Amino acid sequence: MKKYFIIFLCIFITNGILAQGITKYGQNADTSSNYIDQNGQIGNITKLNKKGQIITLATLTTLTASSITAFTAISGGNITNDGGTKITARGICWSTSSNPTISDSITIDSSGTGTFTSSLTQLIYHTTYYIRAYAINSFGIAYGNQVIFTTLPIKPTVITTSVSSIMFYTALSSGNIISDGGATISVRGVCWNTSPNPTITNNITTDSSGTGIYSSSITGLSPVTTYYIRAYASNSAGTNYGNEINFTTLDPSKVYDIDMNKYDTVHIGTQVWIEQNLKTTHYRNGDSIPNVTDNTAWATLLTGAYCNYNNDTNITFTYGRLYNFYTIADSRNLCPIGWHVPSDAEWTSLTTYLGGLSVAGGKLKEAGTLHWYSPNTSATNETGFTAIPIGDRYYTGLYNDFSFVVCWWSSTMSSTTNALNRGIRYDSSNVYSVSNNMGCGFSVRCLKD
């Protein structure tokens, strides 16, 4: 019996000393320690501060988010209890997932208790965020209640893609909304003005809603006027504009082919002619005409083709292009709408009005030797026809007579392989009527229907 009493007394004294030692240590510093309970199990003693008081996590709340923009917001917290020890760090943590922690994005807002404010930056527009205030003391990290908010949308992202089908009073434009900015597109279209940087306070189209590519028909324009145009799109964040494109409406006194090459016109007797040689690279319906540069390939053609004299594009604006007869005979038409390649009879009407073949050439030729080789016999250009000598391309593919001759096709065939054409030379006042192989490359002048 004495033996058991001694053992019990030792256990009691030992436990008392351990407990007393821990309490005494707790009076000097924040601490925690392990001990062995009466059952011989390891337990944990609550942390204590220097006064021997128990330390816990801080108590705090998260403030409602405010001043929310597309990329920033304001929040904060209120630490009502420091848990018995100093708050060493506080702030806001946030994430796009719930229950964010300090391993996510955070602010660091000094220390201490009470209310603090945090600025949240580098947010993503139109995104839902979860935020919690946090406070750190020697016991650990405490979090406030979770607050949820969504950043605002931004204005749409839009580009102006093109302007096409430009006419005297109308044009066609298009835009592409590549981002709605996080809010529904309420309206879209194009705006235009005769001054740069047009806005929706100027002329506009309204082309439904939504993202993606859309087209706008522009009407009410004035001829020979330069316009500035931008696509626009609006959502709840506002209106945004695409890049600016400018274009000029057509001149009703001019003729335009499908490539939008511009031609002057001239009245001679009862006829109206274009004043320059044709330059189009497409048929009237928009189909391409092949540009054949190789001589051998040109010589074997039985279909429409064009070329630039000596394959030199630098002279095309002034002299026009050369076409084989197969382009003339093609049902897709070579001349602009309302115009046609003249028949041989219509060429005869022209030369007859001018006094006959022997003198008509001088009246049709551009005067002087800027383009014509000297002596440019009898050239007066009194008709305004302004013929200039581009030369021709023989059906074998060889180029000939630049500065010496100009030849124009008629629409009249003279055989299964030949067609009639008219020509003028540098050393004569005549207009020549000749039958040539359909594979030759000659100029074209269009006559009004």
CA gap 177, 210 in Å, rounded: 8
Per the prediction, the chain carries an average pLDDT of: 90
Answer whether residue 28 shows pLDDT above 50: no
- Starting from the edge strand earliest in sequence, which strands make up the sheet with 271-274, in order? 265-268, 271-274, 447-448, 339-340
Task: Give residue 94's pLDDT band: very low, low, confident or very high (50, 70, 90).
Answer: very high
Residues 144 and 176: beta-carbon distance below 8 Å: no
pLDDT at position 54 is: 87
pLDDT at position 77 is: 98
Reported as a single tens digit per residue, the pLDDT across 144-176 is 999 999 999 999 999 999 999 999 999 999 999
Distances (CA, A) of 398 to 318, 364, 374, 441: 21, 26, 23, 10
Answer whether residue 36 shows pLDDT above 70: no
CA gap 431, 94 in Å, rounded: 88
pLDDT at position 12 is: 33
Answer whether residue 111 shows pLDDT above 80: yes
Reported as a single tens digit per residue, the pLDDT across 349-378 is 999 999 999 999 999 999 999 999 999 999
Residue from 30, 121, 131, 23 nearest 76 by CA: 131
Single pTM value for the model: 0.69
pLDDT at position 46 is: 58
- Residues forming beta bridges with residue 247, ordered by sequence position: 227
Task: Give residue 45's pLDDT band: very low, low, confident or very high (50, 70, 90).
Answer: very low
pLDDT at position 7 is: 37
The pLDDT of 313-332, averaged and rounded, is 97
The pLDDT of 115-140, averaged and rounded, is 97
Answer whether residue 203 shows pLDDT above 50: yes
pLDDT at position 18 is: 29
Task: Give residue 435's pLDDT band: very low, low, confident or very high (50, 70, 90).
Answer: very high
Residues 429 and 372: beta-carbon distance below 8 Å: no
Answer whether residue 192 shows pLDDT above 90: yes
Could you give the dihedral angle defined by the CA atoms of residues 237, 238, 243 and 246, in that order, rounded to the nearest 10 degrees? 170
pLDDT at position 191 is: 97
Task: Give residue 3's pLDDT band: very low, low, confident or very high (50, 70, 90).
Answer: very low
pLDDT at position 428 is: 97
Q: How many helices (H) and strands (E) does the chain have?
A: 6, 30
**Residue 43, SS3 per DSSP:** strand
CA gap 355, 164 in Å, rounded: 44
Percent of the chain at pLDDT above 70?
89
The pLDDT of 319-339, averaged and rounded, is 97
pLDDT at position 184 is: 95
Residues 435 and 419: beta-carbon distance below 8 Å: yes
Reported as a single tens digit per residue, the pLDDT across 51-90 is 677 899 999 999 999 999 999 999 999 999 999 999 999 9
pLDDT at position 52 is: 72
Q: Decide which of 265 and 46 is more confident.
A: 265
Answer whether residue 138 shows pLDDT above 60: yes
pLDDT at position 49 is: 67
Distances (CA, A) of 200 to 190, 203, 358: 8, 7, 63
Give 375's DSSP letter: T
pLDDT at position 209 is: 81
The pLDDT of 84-107, averaged and rounded, is 97
Percent of the chain at pLDDT above 90?
86
CA gap 237, 19 in Å, rounded: 66
Q: Residues 6 or more apart from 381 whose CB is under 8 A from it? A: 363, 364, 365, 366, 367, 387
Could you give the dihedral angle defined by the CA atoms of residues 438, 307, 289 and 262, in that order, rounded to the nearest 10 degrees? -110
Reported as a single tens digit per residue, the pLDDT across 236-274 is 999 999 999 999 999 999 999 999 999 999 999 999 999
Residues 288 and 332: beta-carbon distance below 8 Å: no
pLDDT at position 371 is: 97
CA gap 189, 202 in Å, rounded: 12
Answer whether residue 215 shows pLDDT above 60: yes
pLDDT at position 358 is: 96
